Amino acid sequence: MSLVAQYSNDALQAEGLMRDKLPRHVAVIMDGNGRWAQQRGLPRIEGHRRGVKSVRVIVEECARLGLGQLTLYCLSSENWKRPPNELNFLMSLLEQYVIEERSEIMRQGLTFAMIGRRDGLSPGVLREVQKTIDCSRENRGMQLCLAVNYGGRAEIADAVRALAADVAAGRLNPAAITEDDISSRLYTAGMPDPDLLIRTAGEMRVSNFLLWQISYAEIWVTDKCWPEFRRPDLVAALRDYASRDRRFGGLKG
């Protein structure tokens, strides 16, 4: 499957970027959709609709930059506390997005994945998500991963249950459990940990997102709400990431 054309090294340098300084995996907490709408006298659901435009732009830009994975926090397990009409709209919007973007995912040669608990998601969403996972399985481009009905604590609890079952069945020695054993039982098994976590709308918290995986991620926050987030904001985040000294607990050599 053909890939979207990636930026040349000259094009990257014109933006102040270098290919070897780009993160392999970017994760995004897409915050502020409802706030953006309310500030403009619009219903909250309009903010979610406008946010899809930002998703389209950022997915293609990350693919053109040659990133390995982009993970988007679409719906947290705590978001079920929101009004039913907003939740119904979010489910409908997600199903529509997966259907409408399937051809773009294939054109860009992306692989598609979804993490989170399937309980509570509509049959239509599950059906269309699986179709897109299946049809993009052989692609070799960037992986686009949507976190839906996702919670970091729930993910870790599910991993602990899986480990406990293996111990009870005699397949695993509890004294020999390693970090890799835990990672292999997370929803993200086989995926690289995020190098960069972007959060919009100025909130200074990680909101139960990829708690295990972001242990050494660089965090970049912008006051812009997600519907306003565009390519220049992504480039600013990547420039800032490239300027940081990532020591992973060690000393600079």
Q: What is the domain partition of the chain in residue ranges?
A: 20-151+193-242
**Of residues 9, 10, 20, 31, which has the active-site annotation?**
31
State the pTM of this model.
Answer: 0.94
Alpha helices per DSSP H over the chain: 9-14, 33-39, 44-65, 84-107, 123-135, 152-168, 179-183, 231-243
> How does pLDDT run across 177-229, given as a tens digit for each residue?
999 999 999 999 999 999 999 999 999 999 999 999 999 999 999 999 999 99
For residue 120, the model assigns a pLDDT of 86
The correct CATH number of 20-151+193-242 out of 3.60.20.10, 3.40.1180.10, 3.40.50.11540, 3.90.700.10 is: 3.40.1180.10
**Of residues 33, 79, 233, 245, which has the active-site annotation?**
79
Q: Is 85 a catalytic residue?
A: no
In tens digits, the chain (253 residues) has pLDDT values of 557 889 999 999 999 999 999 999 999 999 999 999 999 999 999 999 999 999 999 999 999 999 999 999 998 988 888 888 888 899 999 999 999 999 999 999 999 999 999 998 999 999 999 999 999 999 999 999 999 999 999 999 999 999 999 999 999 999 999 999 999 999 999 999 999 999 999 999 999 999 999 999 999 999 999 999 999 999 999 999 999 987 766 656 5
Q: Is 31 a catalytic residue?
A: yes
Side chain identity at residue 223, one-letter code? D
Alpha-carbon torsion 46, 52, 58, 64, what sign? negative
- DSSP labels, 87-108: HHHHHHHHHHHHHHHHHHHHHT
